[in-house]
Amino acid sequence: MLLHLFFLLWGILICLILSAPPSYIPLFVYIFIISIAILISAKKLLCIHKKCIIYGIIVFIFSYLLSSYVIFKPHNNNFMNFSTISSDKKAVIFFCEGEMEKYTPYYANAFLERVPFYIKPIFSYRIKKIYSELEINNKNNTLNLVARDVKSSILSYKPYYFYIAYSGYTPTLNDAITYAVNDGCSEIIVINYTPYENIFEITKKYVDYNKLTSNGINIKFTKSVQDTGEFHQYIVEKIINMPAKFDGIIFITKNNENATSIKTQLNEYYRKDDIFYITDNFENGIKHFINKGCNNILYVSLDESSSGITAEYFYPKIALKYSDKINIVGIKDWGYDKLLVKASIRCFLEKEK
Residue 110 is predicted with a pLDDT of 84
- Give me the sign of the Cα torsion angle 209, 213, 219, 220: positive
Residue by residue, DSSP assigns 286-308 as HHHHHHTT-SEEEEEETT-SS-S
194: amino acid identity, one letter: T
Question: pTM of this prediction?
Answer: 0.91
pLDDT, position 6: 84
Banded model confidence at residue 309, pLDDT cuts 50, 70, 90: very high
| Mean pLDDT to the nearest integer, 283-304 | 95
Q: Is 51 exposed, middle or buried, given 0-12, 13-18 or 19+ CB atoms closer than 10 A?
A: exposed
**What does the pLDDT look like over 233-243, one tens digit per residue?**
999 999 999 98
Question: Given a cut of 80, is residue 329 above it in pLDDT?
Answer: yes
Q: What is the pLDDT of residue 192?
A: 98
* Spatial CB neighbours of 123, under 8 Å, sequence gap ≥ 6: 111, 112, 115
Does residue 94 have a pLDDT over 90? yes
Judge whether residue 161 has pLDDT over 70.
yes
Give the pLDDT of residue 293. Answer: 92
Q: Phi first, then psi: what are they for 104, rounded to 5°? A: -145, 145
Q: Give the pLDDT confidence score for residue 106 in this predicted structure.
A: 87
Q: What's at 122, amino acid-wise? A: I
pLDDT at 198: 87
Q: Above 90 in pLDDT, residue 135?
A: no
Percent of the chain scoring above 70 in pLDDT: 97
The 10s digit of each residue's pLDDT in 194-241 is 999 889 998 988 899 999 999 999 999 999 999 999 999 999 999 999
- pLDDT of 352 strictly over 80: yes
Q: Averaged over 127-143, what is the pLDDT? A: 91
pLDDT at 303: 95
pLDDT at residue 263 greater than cutoff 70: yes
Average pLDDT, the chain: 92
d(CA 318, CA 313): 9
